[in-house]
Structure 1
């Protein structure tokens, strides 16, 4: 299994200690979460260079609240300690693969420089 159950205690260490982290906020009672779970698991097997975390919102309500999670499943992408994407809703495998490719290709310094230039 290439996904990792993550809780409040280790969340900060996980997102700061890994280059690219995908976080699936989910719940056992959530039908779309159960449908998305195998898609997320398959993606984690195909991309061993990405850390795939799963956060059960019922066991980590403080973490879900701090992350602004209002619906599940919610996918968060953290690159170099910075949240670069967050969206609620289950994804198809092709959409998740596309997000993974975009996240890997994202040049955070260039994106920040562009954002600074626009302000």
Structure 2
């Protein structure tokens, strides 16, 4: 499995994939960003390591109608979500090993613990309100 890039003509397909029961790993980047361009291959490699998860590449400028209100401070920014729970939202070092460890750690957390963590502080509660990719895509 490889990552999917969000395009204007595949939004319905992406929305259907987001509605499935698997961990979503989205990379929010911009076409003009050199770091993002060099990270793209690493993101593809991560997707191949984790074929049971859904990897999505989103250009935040091309899809500002969906992610424009998200507070993307730097690139690459990862958004990791299971069902309706946002497990992580933030800038990631462009090192695939760091991202891989984060993905593997989140994948091992059960639903109850993930929900507890999601409500554990103001920042994580804000992620639930603002960063739910299913809601942003209109699939929730």
TM-score by shorter chain over 0.5: yes
2:46 is aligned, of 28, 43, 46, to 43
- How far is 1:63 from its partner? 1.6
1:14 is aligned, of 9, 17, 20, to 17
Q: How many aligned positions are there? A: 118
Distance 1:63 1:7, change over 3 A: farther
Quick one: higher RCO (CA 8 Å, sep 6+), 1 or 2? 1
Aligned to 2:84: 81
- How far is 1:104 from its partner? 1.0
In structure 2, distance between residues paired with 1:37 and 1:117: 32
Alignment partner of 1:99 is 2:102: yes
In the alignment, structure 1 segments of 5+ residues that lack a partner are: none
If each structure's strand is expressed as a fraction of its own residues, which one has the higher value?
A: 1
TM-score normalised by the chain length of structure 2: 0.70
Runs of 4+ in 1 over 6 A off after TM superposition: 114-118
Distance 1:16 1:69, change over 3 A: farther
In structure 2, distance between residues paired with 1:29 and 1:115: 32
- How far is 1:46 from its partner? 1.2
Aligned to 1:4: 4
Over the residues paired in the alignment, what is the CA RMSD in angstroms? 2.6
